[in-house]
């Protein structure tokens, strides 16, 4: 085995246990869902592998069942369900058997174990009647088959648990009748080839949604939505139908007919609908706003003002929803006859719902109304001249905006297009970003990307958490991702930088220790919107993580600054602690008391060196390597981020303003500070500072030294930071090697990786797990489509890049 392969395996040995941790509680059969036939037996088994002696003595396994299975009104669960539990020295096994399953047993089945690092796993089970000749086949199930009516609050989403018992089942929703003040009015439904044409789920502006595991959802329900509905399931030319009533408690006020404002001399109609419990109900009451005072005046329904007619109807119906009681539907119709210029145009409907006062206001204006205006001739002339001048001004501004937008669109298209023929393989890629093309195979449909909470922000750019549906090469239908975008849609400088990062991400391909590109949305780039979709690392950046977990740090050094022997058995690494969540600000939050050990820091240092060696091999300089720009993902994997973005456009305490750029002074090599020279060896200097951050658990480098000129002076005089308390002697020697004055005397990232690998060898166990293979295969596949004009991928750590500090 070659030396580099040995180091690769050593890294994955540290990572292997955490990878298998996700499989320490498998369910058999595995998979996110399964389909079984009605009348058969459901058998599920969970196996938990002990992690320590405490687990072996105290861990147990619990099962969770669908709500209806546990609350079945037949009460026969104790006769159909059996559980077994077995324990030995290495693992516990629990099996449940549910006899003679019914379609109502469809739902989530899960198991969990109760040790300090709780694990959970669940599977969705469809119970399906596969007898296609049975006319009584049940394809649909309700959470409560005996519940046929649902009560919603106006504007609050209503869930109807009509769920399919097979993933291939086609579901539609129809409305068979409407509840009105005149009673129940049947809808005119049309059927073609056995299918209803009025499917509410397929309408473009439908407020009905379907999720197989949860059922139907009526969003933003209104009083007018009350009525009888059908949930129709069809498969293999067999149809199953479930019918239910929906009542919507509340009040709505609408205008009948044309949505345009009425003209003088015409009629208009306003309707107030209300649904509430009869016991606490009272008919709605109309008021109008007095035009000259703005006050509301109640309308006497039996003696209304001239030009107003009111007719109120009511209909009562008993409904059994969590108990039977009577409800009343009110519909009050207000007709405005022969509307005049001085007619009232603001009306309020008021009543009591659940003993609470409720009111709705509707307003409109009259069109085509003539007023007796007699302005003086001078005023007319002044207004006319002003309008003409304003028109010239608006036309001029409009022409300028049009040509500016046209030029910007052409320029953006040119920057995205690139020129592959202009790429020089002997130069660093950052010199040639404008030549890199945008590969349209990375384009992702904007409508399948749902943006969520903000994870981070700077002066010009921000990163948000998002969900992408149907992402290419993803095993998940809905994948959590991170999306980079500019803060301002009109910021050309920020847009240029984001385009550059997108091109570099495409050029780089995939690597385990680099934040990888997943897609991009460029269709609206001319409008200032560019979305770059990258991997989401839920534990945030290393600097914040180290600071937040200082109190849980466990040193594995002896009194001489060397690693203790037998540390694997003493303290697991942080990658084994998976009980973390992310709060609204994107920060990792502990659910259990996690530990952070010296071995974790060593593993991260090795991974970062691997990621940087990959960037160097692709002739990409980082320029801003620091703990804040390294992200922590699942299973203890760290990923280098923000590469190719040395010209950071945000300002913070870490950066010093210089011209139009911002410099990360405390992480920059001496030659970068004095002569503006950037190379892979200046990134090595920054790596040494990053190591200091790691082993100081997130402290700011060069404490007490903030001025740039002071820092340059002490560095030129030979000053270097002292060894952090938690750093092994070996790593402090590596830091000082990275901080040598002459760039050529510093180790390369290939050498750094080998040095750490050799140091790690006696600290590791004998189990191997090469989890990097998928990334390598993905990268090989993508690299096969790279252009022949791209720079070669051989490592050239000595290439240098000179640039003006104002461009950084």
CA nearest neighbour of 561 among 732, 721, 719: 732
Known binding positions for ATP? 456-463, 484, 628
Cα(723)–Cα(229) distance, rounded to whole angstroms?
73
Question: Which pair of tokens denotes residue 578?
Answer: 């998976």
For residue 4, the 8-state DSSP code is H
Known binding positions? 456-463, 484, 628-629, 642
Give 545's contacts (C-beta < 8 A, 6+ positions apart). 539, 588, 632, 698
Judge contact between 334 and 341, C-beta under 8 A. Answer: no
For residue 722, the 8-state DSSP code is P
Judge contact between 121 and 25, C-beta under 8 A. Answer: yes
Cα(609)–Cα(475) distance, rounded to whole angstroms?
29
For residue 719, the 8-state DSSP code is -
- The string of DSSP letters for 252-317 reads EEEE-S-SSPPBTT--EEEEEEEEEEGGG----EEEEE-TTT--EEE--TTSPPTTEEEEEEEEEE
Q: Give residue 237's region: left, alpha or beta (phi > 0; psi -120 to 50).
A: left
Cα(211)–Cα(167) distance, rounded to whole angstroms?
11
Annotated active-site residue 624? The verdict is yes
Cα(808)–Cα(804) distance, rounded to whole angstroms?
7
Question: Of the residues 225, 624, 683, 803, which is catalytic?
Answer: 624
CB burial class (10 A; 0-12, 13-18, 19+) of residue 231? Answer: buried
Cα(345)–Cα(361) distance, rounded to whole angstroms?
11
> In DSSP terms, which residues pair with 243 in a beta bridge?
230
Judge contact between 5 and 755, C-beta under 8 A. Answer: no
Cα(529)–Cα(552) distance, rounded to whole angstroms?
42
Q: Which residues are catalytic?
A: 624
């Amino acid at each position: 085995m070659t030396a580099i392969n040995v180091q690769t395996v050593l890294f994955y040995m540290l990572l292997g246990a955490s990878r298998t941790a996700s499989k320490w509680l498998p369910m058999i059969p595995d998979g996110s869902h399964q389909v079984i036939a009605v009348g058969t037996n459901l058998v599920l088994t969970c196996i938990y592998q002990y992690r320590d002696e405490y687990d072996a003595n105290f861990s147990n396994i619990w099962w969770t069942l669908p709500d209806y299975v546990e609350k079945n009104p037949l009460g026969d669960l104790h006769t159909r369900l059996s559980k077994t539990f077995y324990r030995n020295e290495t693992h516990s096994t629990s099996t449940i058997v549910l006899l003679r399953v019914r379609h109502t047993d469809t739902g989530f089945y899960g198991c969990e174990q109760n040790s300090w690092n709780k694990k959970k796993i669940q599977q969705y089970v469809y119970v399906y009647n596969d007898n296609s000749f049975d006319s009584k086949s049940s394809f649909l199930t309700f959470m409560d088959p005996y519940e046929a009516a649902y009560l919603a609050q106006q504007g609050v989403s209503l869930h109807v648990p009509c769920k399919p018992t097979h993933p291939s089942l086609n579901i539609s929703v129809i409305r068979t009748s409407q509840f009105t003040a005149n009673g129940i009015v049947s809808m005119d439904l049309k059927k073609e080839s056995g299918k209803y044409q009025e499917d509410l789920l397929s309408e473009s502006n439908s407020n009905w949604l379907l999720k197989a595991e949860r059922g139907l959802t009526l969003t933003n329900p209104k009083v007018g939505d009350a009525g009888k509905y059908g949930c129709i399931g069809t498969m293999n030319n067999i149809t199953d139908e479930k019918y239910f009533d929906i009542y919507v408690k509340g009040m709505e006020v609408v205008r009948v007919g044309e949505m345009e404002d009425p003209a003088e001399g015409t009629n208009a109609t306003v309707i107030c609908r209300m649904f509430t419990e009869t016991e606490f109900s009272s008919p709605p009451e109309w008021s109008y706003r007095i035009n000259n005072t703005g006050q509301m005046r109640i309308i006497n329904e039996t003696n209304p003002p001239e030009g107003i007619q009111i007719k109120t109807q009511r209909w009562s119906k008993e409904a059994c929803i969590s108990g039977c009681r009577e409800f009343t539907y009110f519909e009050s119709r207000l007709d405005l006859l022969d509307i005049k210029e001085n007619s009232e145009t603001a009306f309020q409907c008021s009543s009591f719902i659940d003993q609470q006062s409720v009111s709705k206001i509707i307003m409109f204006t009259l069109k085509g109304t003539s007023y007796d205006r007699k302005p003086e001739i001078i005023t007319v002339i002044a207004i006319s001249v002003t309008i003409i001048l304003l028109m010239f001004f608006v036309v001029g501004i409009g022409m300028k905006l049009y040509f500016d937008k046209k030029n910007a669109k052409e320029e953006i298209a040119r920057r995205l297009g690139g020129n592959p023929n202009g790429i020089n393989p002997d130069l660093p890629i950052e010199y040639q970003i404008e030549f890199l093309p945008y590969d349209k195979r990375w384009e992702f449909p904007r409508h399948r990307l749902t943006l969520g909470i903000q994870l981070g922000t700077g002066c010009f750019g921000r990163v948000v958490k998002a969900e992408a549906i149907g992402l290419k090469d993803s095993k998940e239908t809905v994948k959590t991702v991170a999306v980079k975008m500019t803060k301002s849609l009109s910021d050309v400088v920020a847009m240029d930088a984001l385009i550059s990062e997108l091109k570099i991400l495409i050029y780089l391909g995939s690597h385990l220790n680099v934040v990888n590109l997943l897609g991009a949305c460029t269709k609206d780039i001319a409008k200032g919107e560019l979305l770059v979709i990258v991997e989401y690392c839920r534990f945030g950046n290393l600097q914040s993580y180290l600071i937040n977990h200082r109190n849980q740090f466990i040193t594995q050094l002896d009194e001489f600054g060397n690693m203790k022997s037998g540390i694997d058995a003493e303290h697991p690494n942080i990658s084994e602690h998976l009980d973390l969540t992310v709060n609204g600000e994107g920060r990792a939050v502990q659910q259990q008391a996690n530990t952070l050990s010296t071995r974790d820091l060593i593993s991260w240092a090795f991974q970062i060196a691997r990621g940087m060696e990959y960037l160097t091999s692709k002739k990409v300089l980082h320029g801003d390597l620091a703990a804040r720009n390294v992200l922590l993902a699942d299973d203890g994997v760290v990923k280098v981020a923000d590469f190719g973005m040395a010209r950071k456009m945000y300002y913070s305490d870490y950066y010093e303003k210089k011209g139009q750029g911002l410099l990360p002074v405390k992480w920059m090599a001496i030659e970068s500070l004095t002569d503006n020279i950037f190379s892979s060896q200046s990134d090595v200097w920054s790596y040494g500072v990053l190591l200091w951050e790691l082993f100081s658990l997130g402290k700011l480098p060069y404490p007490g030294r903030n001025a740039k000129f002071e820092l340059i002076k002490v560095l030129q005089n030979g000053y270097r930071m002292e060894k952090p308390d938690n750093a092994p002697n070996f790593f402090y020697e590596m830091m000082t090697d990275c901080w040598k004055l002459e760039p050529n005397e510093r180790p390369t990232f290939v050498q750094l990786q080998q040095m750490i690998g050799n140091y790690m060898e006696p600290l590791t166990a004998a189990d191997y797990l090469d989890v990097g293979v998928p990334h390598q295969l993905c990268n090989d596949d993508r690299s096969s489509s790279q252009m022949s004009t791209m720079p070669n991928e051989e490592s050239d750590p000595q290439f240098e890049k000179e640039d003006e500090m104002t461009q950084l």
